[in-house]
Amino acid sequence: MNRVWNFSAGPAALPPAVLERAQRELLDWNGSGASVMEQSHRGKRFIAMAEQAEADLRALMDIPADYAVLFLQGGATQHFAQIPMNLAGPGDSADYIVSGHWSAKAVSEAGPYLHVNVAASSVADDYLMLPARDNWQLDPNAAYVHYTPNETIHGVEFHEVPEVGAVPLVADLSSNILSEPLDVNRFGLIYAGAQKNIGPSGLVVMIIRRDLLQRAGRPMAKIFRYAEHAAAGSMLNTPNTWGWYLSGLTFQWLLGQGGLEAMAKLNHAKADALYQAIDGSGGYYRNPIDLAARSRMNVRFELHDTALDAAFLQETEAAGLLALKGHKALGGMRASLYNAVPLAAVEALVEFMRDFARRHG
């Protein structure tokens, strides 16, 4: 079996050590004689695993006791709608910061449930930079402020947590959660689709300040209410047991790597190496993003001649460098450098890029 260097934007690379352990335990998990996918989610073994996964995530992120941790089914897009349902009542408004595709989609999905105030947007700049903080038009009476710290498609990232006063800050951290230390106290609610830095698709991890669970929201079925999921320990209905298990293994792997400080150092090294190769190519490759907004997780780049794109992608795949094609809306290339992508993968990509430029210059 030949493993490739996987630069997929999501579902993305998982740590080989996590996959190997899951492989070993697939038929006989925890001495049970059955896989984790065949276990009752209300059985002692699974509950112990779930509690350990939450404890490990709390240790990694230093999550305070006044925050609940939820392991929910679905994807982050579902919560673009579910968050306003839970945090805002009829007639309420919320502020949204639009910095790319996913924050714009969050606006469209929230629209049926509350008044959306687009407090700032960089759409006029083609999302090549972040909305200047001095220009944000925030409402002190907003139910919350929503932003996307890292835009997977457009390749921009907030490198500081914005100050928004007393209004709860809500963050879609799908593509950069666990990539560096984060002060959870700065947020009212954090949510993340698992399929980039946590585990397989089909699971959402949510960290929510407990007082926000008490908001009346609007009339809705119990299955949509976060307070009900918190009260049931994320087992209001049958959870994604496989996703929860693999995420727990990833948390253990991260702790074994030295935690989020070690991951931050590694992630900066990976991004720096790739951006240096792009910037140092004499214009053969280019990254269009404002320097202050460049993403560490999703690095966009373009070749100087788009006629070479097909050859570049064909040759990278042949060289074992997977999923470098940019999003269809933007074209070009994109390398996603999530936690499970090692520095060796970036070094292999950089060497390929230099060789390709020599051969096709």
* DSSP SS3 for 205: strand
- Of the residues 5, 29, 102, 253, only one is catalytic, namely 102
Residue 62 catalytic?
A: no
- What's the CA gap between 63 and 210, in Å, rounded? 12
Residues 6 or more apart whose Cβ sits within 8 Å of residue 179? 197, 260, 263, 264, 267, 296, 297, 338, 339
Helix axes 343-360, 259-279, angle to 10 degrees: 10
| Alpha carbons 230 and 210: distance in angstroms, whole number | 9
Token pair for residue 63?
Answer: 């999550």
Stated as kind and residue range, the H or E segment containing 191 is strand 189-193
Residue linked to tokens 């209410």: 225
Residue 92: count of CB within 10 angstroms of its CB: 18
**Residue 78 · residue 141 · CB < 8 Å:** no
Q: Is 46 exposed, middle or buried (0-12, 13-18, 19+ CB in 10 A)?
A: buried
Q: Verify whether residue 105 is a known catalytic residue.
A: no
Catalytic choice (29, 172, 244, 253): 172
To the query of whether residue 126 is one of the catalytic residues in this protein, the response is no
What tokens appear for 120 in the block? 């700032």
Q: Which of 5, 29, 56, 196 is catalytic?
A: 196
- Fill in the amino acid letter for 268: H
| β partners of residue 322 | 6
Positive/negative CA dihedral, 257, 323, 285, 359: positive
For 316, residues 6+ apart whose C-beta sits below 8 A from its C-beta are 322, 324, 349, 352
Residues 6+ apart with CB under 8 A from 274: 299, 335, 337, 346, 349, 350
Best CA proximity match to 81, nearest among 108, 110, 107, 104: 110
* Residues with catalytic function: 102, 172, 196
